[in-house]
């Protein structure tokens, strides 16, 4: 039964960040191994409490850099997780974000600024048991990412500045967990008008492949909602 005192107890607000990348043809998420309670020794998402004088996004960027050394990333608010018993320390509401990064451009590491034992990329399909409700957060982020891949240029954040259409198709196939028809995929991607040829060719064992880049003057919202099948 609630008391008069209970009416004035305020919840704490935190941020959690789901960082996706593609490595070794797998979609991976960045995890930290906690060095303090609660859940010491368990894996979790990077994150922490919001300072009284900062915005949620600033807190997410700060915590990500402090715990993993990762900075200058694409960041988007995901959802608010507020189940009453999600944190054993008390009533904590978490604003979750997700980020997409090209693994060749960043090198996550233990910074020493936080009590973190390890930082590691882990396959989304083979996650260990995570602290708090972080499995739910990762699952929700994956659903959002797959949905957005259908109508925005967000997947390009996972690629280097120059890429082949085969590289782009592989990103879609890895994230959507399905094989796509090559001719149909290329036709639809080029019709969207968000990539342009760099007029540079990538040499390999087969015929040189044209390299493309994201047409930055073209807003991502111009992507039509479209399926890449059939």
Please compute the mean of the pLDDT values over residues 120-144 and round it to a whole number.
97
> What angle in degrees, to the nearest 10, is found between the helix axes of 134-148 and 165-176?
140
Asked if 47 and 16 touch (Cβ cutoff 8 Å), the reply is yes
What are the structure tokens assigned to 130, written together? Answer: 């995570």
For the chain, percent of residues with pLDDT exceeding 70: 90
- Write down the architecture of domain 154-222 according to CATH: Orthogonal Bundle (1.10)
pLDDT of 45: 98
More confident call, 84 vs 4: 84
What are 81's two structure tokens?
A: 């997780």
pTM of the model as a whole: 0.88
Cα–Cα nearest to 123, from 30, 32, 17:
30
Q: How far is CA 74 from CA 20, 80, 156, 203, in A?
A: 10, 19, 11, 30
pLDDT classification of 153: cutoffs 50, 70, 90: confident
Q: Is the pLDDT of residue 225 over 50?
A: no
SS3 for 205?
A: coil
| pLDDT reading at 173 higher than 80 | yes
Cβ atoms of 115 and 57 within 8 Å: the answer is no
Q: What is the mean pLDDT of the chain?
A: 89
Residue spans per domain, the chain: 9-148, 154-222
Confidence at residue 155, expressed as pLDDT on a 0 to 100 scale: 82
pLDDT at position 56: 97
Q: Is the pLDDT of residue 1 over 80?
A: no
Sequence-distant (6+) residues with CB within 8 A of 142 are: 27, 124
92 neighbors 81 (Cβ within 8 angstroms): no
Two tokens at 7?
A: 């009416």
For residue 222, pLDDT over 50 is answered with no
Cα angle 134-150-143, degrees, rounded to a multiple of 5: 15
Alpha carbons 136 and 12: distance in angstroms, whole number: 20
Rg (C-alpha) for the chain, rounded Å, is 20
Task: Report the alpha-carbon distance of residue 210 to residue 205 in Å, rounded.
Answer: 14
- Assess contact for 172 and 146: CB atoms under 8 A: no
Q: Which option is the CATH number for 9-148: 3.30.365.10, 3.90.79.10, 3.10.50.40, 3.40.50.1010? A: 3.90.79.10
Position 229 scores a pLDDT of 54
CA distances from 72 to 43, 58, 153, 201 (A): 24, 12, 18, 28
For β-strands 26-34 and 74-81, DSSP reports them as: unpaired
Q: Pick from 122, 104, 116, 146: which is nearest to 46 by CA?
A: 116
CA dist 148 and 120 (Å) reads 25
Residue 217: pLDDT above 50?
Answer: yes
Reply yes or no on whether the pLDDT at 185 is more than 80: yes
pLDDT tens track for 76-99: 999 999 999 999 999 999 999 999
Distance from C-alpha of 99 to C-alpha of 31, rounded to nearest angstrom: 13
* Residue 161: half-sphere exposure toward Cβ, Cα within 13 Å: 3
pLDDT of residue 111 exceeding 80, the answer is: yes
For residue 205, what pLDDT is reported?
72
């Amino acid at each position: 039964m609630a008391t008069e005192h209970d009416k004035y107890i305020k919840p704490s607000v935190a941020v959690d960040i789901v960082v996706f990348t593609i490595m070794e043809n797998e979609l991976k998420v960045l995890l930290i191994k906690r060095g303090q309670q609660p859940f010491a020794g368990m894996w979790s998402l990077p994150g922490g409490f919001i300072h009284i004088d900062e915005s949620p996004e600033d807190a997410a960027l700060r915590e990500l850099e402090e715990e993993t050394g990762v900075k200058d990333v694409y960041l988007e608010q995901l959802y608010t997780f507020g189940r009453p018993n999600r944190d054993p320390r008390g009533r904590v509401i978490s604003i979750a974000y997700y980020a997409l990064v090209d693994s060749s451009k960043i090198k996550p590491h233990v910074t020493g600024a936080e009590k973190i034992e390890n930082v590691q990329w882990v396959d989304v399909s083979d996650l260990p048991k995570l602290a708090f409700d972080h499995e739910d957060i990762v699952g929700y982020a994956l659903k959002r990412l797959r949905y957005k891949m259908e109508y925005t240029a967000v997947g390009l954040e996972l690629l280097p500045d120059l890429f082949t259409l085969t590289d782009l198709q592989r990103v879609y196939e890895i994230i959507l967990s399905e094989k796509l028809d090559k001719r149909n995929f290329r036709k639809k991607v080029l019709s969207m008008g968000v990539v342009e040829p760099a007029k540079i060719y990538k040499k390999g064992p087969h015929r040189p492949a044209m390299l493309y880049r994201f047409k930055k003057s073209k807003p991502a919202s111009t992507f039509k909602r479209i399926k890449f099948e059939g």
